[in-house]
Structure 1
Amino acid sequence: MKIIFYIGHHKVGSTALQAFLAENWRVLIKNGILYPSIEGHGFAANLRQALQKDPIVKEPIRVREPHSALAYRMIADVSGRPIPRQFSDVPPTDQMIRAIRSQVTALQPETVVLCSEAFSNFGQVDANLVTVLRDIFPDAEMQVYCALRRPDQYITSWHGQRLKVGEKNVAPLHETGAAQYYGTIHFDYAMVVNAWVDHMPEAQLTLRNYADILAAGGSIEDFVAQTGLALPQDGISPPGRANESLPLAAFSIMAQATQALQHSDTLALSRFLQTKGKALSPVANGDIEVFGADHRAKLVEDFAPIDARLAEIQGTSAFFADLDAALQPRSTPILEAGRALLDAIDPDSLPNPELKTFIETLKRDL
């Protein structure tokens, strides 16, 4: 039996891959591939698929992303970190591990896929958590798949994710550069990878540049190709649409919103900007500068030793061959782009009076 661990990183298409694996559970297990559930909602969803009934319109996230629930519970066990709200009522770690083992015993798969971007956190929290996963099936063949995105692009995307979900006190990148992420997995990719190299040395390690993943067709296509998953020709449901993102021009607006609005209104504005902001913005994402030239230079300089470590593991001269491209600033500063988007928003188009008042006030005061 082979165990494949997909460990992220964040912002590299893991949500689409998890949805694909969950939505095709029946077809996959018929072909010897198990995407195991960790609790009753997942078991019920899989049974529903097995009986070929129509899926529930919106399954709980722990059905689509069961191993994120496992990862965050494991992290909480050793660190005291709170479990994200969407996974807060999942079972204890040992119960989830027993559930995985029971499914393997009952279904006898050839391949088991454990898939969560949250596994990338283990290197920062406690690398011994990798050993806990390895010991679920210590005699299995193992492969670790890890996708990494060029740091300037990744940090921009991760920063936007924090704003998108309404996190408060997110320091602007044009003020701090990447420094606010130093010492974390969001900048130190070696911290992500070393934990798995050190604690699962027998595993085949597949490190992938996100640019190569996109060239291969996306996160699902690349994962299948790199792991050798034998998917059937028929019966596979295509992946759904990817997560919506905030346009870069919305960053400064959302930063103001997190300080001025109730959280529910902040999320309502976020949804509006995710769906409408790109079309409204006079400046395209590719033309917006979030860092500034000096911060870009510092980012590239400080990331160089991390890239060298990744290259050493990979056996290449550089992991991100185009790292120097991160030095090149875009044409329009982010505050200028934010002002242009703000001017383009019609307050009357917003979904509630609180947001209308907020945008009107922001237009007047900025």
Structure 2
Amino acid sequence: MDVDPEQKYPTVGVLNRGRGLLYRDSVAGSATAYKKLNRIGPSMLVYSRLKAFEGAITVTPDDLPESFASQEFPTFAFASDADPDFFRILTTMERMWDALQGASKGMGGRRERVKPADFLNIVMDIPPLPVQKRIVEAIGAVDDQISALNEEAEALDRVSMAVASDMLSGEPIVALGTALDDIRGGKSPQANKWPPGADEFGVLKVSAVTPFRFLPEESKSLLPGTFMPASALVQPGDVLITRANTPLRVGAVTRVPADVRNGLYLADKTLRLVPSSKLDPDFLVVAMALKAARNHLMSSATGTSASMVNVSQDRIRETPIPLPDLDRQREVASAVLSVRANTDAARAEATRLRKARSGLLSGLLDQSITIDV
């Protein structure tokens, strides 16, 4: 449809790995360079031509309000013998992501795209409609359990931070920089799109660092011959912070566990916080997850992209944190991490169920697991 300069358009994007839509702020027609936009309606299949190789594909929610996207996001309506809920599940599968990666054409980076004609030529085994609906029921039951575990984990997250806030009430507030010895950065790497093998060097993606959680699987293998300085090597016990991320996730802080695999490096979007002798590393992670610190970091972030903003080292140093004595710091950290052990258990169970879901879905599609209709 043609863009009207007098209108505003609620816009969406598509998250990678089949994670659904990215909801963006409305854009005025007079403020966009696009002359045409695609209308995105409920229960439609949509993918990103540019990010298809990363699995940026989904089926929109049934209750999606009127939304729009650029023509880089082709959309498709479903035939009568296709269940949108089934295809929504299909977009969460690695076989779909692999097919999109195989259909991606172009030379490097932003020139790679999946054209609609190539997308429509992707071959998938699609069962009859009655089987599609039974698969939706079976997978939906597993998804409900996963959602319940995620909700439990989020509730425990809130409890842990309430415990921290209560225990730290009345403690002196200082700027983070006064309790640090240093902030050290990583290096912009030359990396592949895929994770490193067991004996390969890798570089952390920004998604590897989330509050209280370190995800080493969120990494990419380095291209052969890529130099990374020893100072960028991730070490057990490091306290890491994301300096660039989405607006809600910038400034995420975690501590690297003792069993981290060797050979992972920091990229330039992640920094290492080096606490002084008056700041316990585990307490630092807790303090940086408190509401005052999170609000400061998010409000300090700048950038022109709706999906990626940056926070400077100076603003990180200005982050307000409580600073009791070391014994109290360790007491608070111990209490919070004790609650979070239950959070981690809920997330681990959700991860186990996701793996079981993947195996069940694969079996249902290749008919190694049969289902009554």
- Which interval holds the TM-score relative to the shorter structure? under 0.3
Bigger-Rg structure (1/2) = 2
Higher fraction of strand: 2
Taking structure 1 as the reference length, the TM-score comes to 0.25
More helix by share: 1
Q: Under a length normalisation based on structure 2, what TM-score does the superposition of the two structures give?
A: 0.25
